[in-house]
Structure 1
Amino acid sequence: MRIRATVAAVTGALALSALAVPAAQAADTSSSFRTDAAKAFAAAHTAHTAHTAHSGITAFSTSADTTALDVTFSNLKIAAAIKVGTTNKVASTVTYTMTHGSDVDITSDDFATGPYIYKGSYDSPSNMLFGDYPATCTATSSTTATCKGDIDIYPAEGELINADAGTWSAGALALTYSNSAEADQGGLGTTKVQRYSTLNVNAGPEPVYKGKTVTSTGKLARANWEDNKYHGYTNQPVKLQFRKAGTSTYTTVKTVYSDLYGNLKATATATYDGYWRFSFAGTTTTPAVNAVGDYVDVR
């Protein structure tokens, strides 16, 4: 539960106890960027809260623990949705523009920047996710650069709970190791972190006589981030669709609802050879999914 534990620390004084990162680590920033970024966020918010009301952008007021870094961010682009299952690591690429003062050397091994996403409010996020490695940046002028980095998610390691599904906000930060200087900016965009969905179908009998009934059964399920298994998605509208053999377009026949266990059952009249499938439109917390069509021969 690496990141969730870090978020809890962000809101307390203990977060500051880990802020000092030895300059010797500068040569190996990639190996610890995820942790360092979380610490930088903690430092930024602690300093900012102590000196001024939140404005949506923090360049930080100077304190004994943190120094303001002359860096801001804009033009952040992130996927509309990030689909996360139960075990496999998921990486989502983020791009943004970084503007910095002439005194900030973004090519130095001492400097690192990267994107992050957070659930809930910027001042008191309930969860945050970072990348394993710093973003890579290409200078476009003496004070601007385009940057590209990943958000890395490990569902099997307890980084998410089911309540985290839905809309998250995006931000970016920068830090220097030698003097613990940081810059952080939230509210740069939004994305949905969704519980990966599965859907299957079995249509029969096979073959079937024309005019007789075809019965399609299946199950709609989605990832449970708390036990790392897939469970049925209850009471969801799912379309039964048919594609005539030799064509490429599915047509909706009817809509049915999943039962308490996510199970589906729908009947229709056999008319032509073709493929039957279920189709789920998705919700804020769960992505759309189509079952692979099941062919039925009509005689």
Structure 2
Amino acid sequence: MALENETSPAMRVLVIEDSAVQAKIVSRHIEGLSNFSTVWAGTLEEARSVVEEMREEIFVAVVDLNLPDAPDGEAVDLTMSYGIPSIVLTATFHDDVRDSLLERNVADYVLKESMVVLDSVVNAISRLFKNQFLKAVVVDDSRAARNLVRTLLEIQNFQVLEAENGQEALDMLAEHPEVTLVVTDWEMPVMDGFQLCSEVRKTYKKDRLAIVGISGAGGSAMTAKFLKLGANDFLAKPFSAEEFSWRVNQTMEMVDLVKELHECKRELNGE
């Protein structure tokens, strides 16, 4: 039977792990470094029961890829089928495993190596929690490209809006001033990504709204121009899902850090 901790905050982390010892280690690490409580399931059927009973309380799942009664990642399929962002723990790793996990649209995967790995798990959980409150705009004149980036952002728990060109993106920012991330292509009609960066920076500083440029053209010159015009980061196409999520999440972490530093400065100055 699934066991849960005594605390009952609104959001919980579901830990699916057949080893009670390892589950306890993972749960204690998460609770020690975050404000989340955990609920543990040791088998696929226990996990199914917990999800059915507590779906509204579960925010994210940390899932062992191979369980005795779910040797082929069925526990991951379970959590994903319920729309639960999932971080997968795996003892073995090769290209087939990686491809399988990316096809399942998992939020992240980590190797079972040491306690350092658990720090990565907690960081991923915290970022997913923060991202659910953030709104992003994907700017690209290609519907297929927008859909790809939108999917990658939604896997990381962002709320996502779309624009076909820079001018449409500016109009969208005026309508949704709460947007905190823009992911923009370079070459677009009406207003390209360079012009968009320049216009956005007239109103929004880097610690208020992050810009990530993307393009399949131009090489290092493209990167330099995006950054000089105010982008926080740049990704060259084609990029992997892992590179995209890591770079976007790192960008948002830096935005959060700068905000915290500014808040500390204001407190010290008595503002």
Question: Larger % of helix: which?
Answer: 2
TM-score, normalised by the number of residues in structure 2: 0.27
TM-score by length of 1: 0.25
Structure with higher strand content: 1
Q: Which has the higher contact order (CA 8 A, sep 6+)?
A: 1
